[in-house]
């Protein structure tokens, strides 16, 4: 690539704008790597320190749920875990509030942990699980409707099991089709390659 650029420059060719940008960025990294490497390490260290705090962890987990392409997968993973673990605990005869406490420890995302805490508070005050879930945005309307039926009919475990399988299917589907979702990005770079190389 540098040889091609030098040749085109020597020949007096007018390089495309994107090529000039790429060359400039490349020269910058080559010329200042000894500054950029410690800087990147410092930024990474500060990032780890930030997400080790509760507020930092909450912001980062919120960002993950809203991330393009991957946000829905992160959400489905938490919902899948919520359904399967809660179904297992309730089926084992563990009281709902205690089951939610164990479930909270099993969740990875802080927003889901906080949502489960709200459910515990609602139940402790004489309310229902679904009423507690309505106080958080992490639980979809369809999930709340199904669990409402489960609470009314006393068939919570089998409904949780079906919901868990549903989210597992959705996760598998999203992962299988992830390449199709990022295909436009790949095509952009592939189509841009001839322009960058000047070919």
* Spatial separation of the C-alpha atoms in residues 129 and 135, rounded to whole Å: 10
| Predicted local confidence at residue 195, as pLDDT | 45
SS3 call for 11: coil
Is residue 109 within 8 A of residue 65, CB to CB? The reply is yes
| Predicted local confidence at residue 194, as pLDDT | 47
pLDDT(4) > 60 = no
Is residue 167 within 8 A of residue 83, CB to CB? The reply is yes
**Where do we find the tokens 């800087």?**
39
| Predicted local confidence at residue 196, as pLDDT | 45
Query: Smallest Cα–Cα separation from 76: which of 165, 178, 182, 158?
Result: 165
Is residue 78 within 8 A of residue 62, CB to CB? The reply is no
User: pTM of this prediction?
Assistant: 0.77
Q: Which pLDDT band holds residue 198 (cuts at 50, 70, 90)?
A: very low
pLDDT(185) > 50 = yes
Mean pLDDT of 68-84: 95
């Amino acid at each position: 690539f540098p040889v091609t650029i030098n040749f085109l420059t020597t020949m007096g060719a007018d390089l495309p704008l994107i090529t000039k940008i790429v060359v400039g960025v490349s020269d910058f990294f080559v010329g200042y790597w000894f500054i950029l490497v410690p800087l990147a390490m410092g930024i990474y260290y500060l990032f780890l320190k930030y997400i080790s705090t509760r507020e930092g962890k909450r912001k980062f987990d919120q960002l993950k749920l809203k991330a393009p392409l991957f946000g829905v997968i992160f959400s489905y993973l938490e919902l899948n875990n919520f359904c399967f673990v809660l179904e297992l605990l309730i089926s084992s005869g563990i009281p709902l509030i205690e089951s939610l406490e164990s479930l909270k420890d099993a969740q990875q995302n802080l927003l889901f942990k906080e949502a489960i805490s709200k459910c515990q508070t609602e139940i402790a005050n004489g309310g229902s699980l679904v009423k507690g879930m309505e106080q958080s945005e992490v639980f979809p309307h369809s999930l709340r409707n199904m669990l409402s039926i489960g609470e009314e009919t006393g068939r919570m475990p089998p409904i949780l099991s079906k919901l868990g399988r549903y989210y597992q299917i959705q996760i598998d589907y999203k992962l299988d089709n992830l390449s199709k979702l990022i295909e436009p990005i790949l095509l952009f770079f592939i189509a841009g390659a001839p322009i960058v190389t000047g070919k």
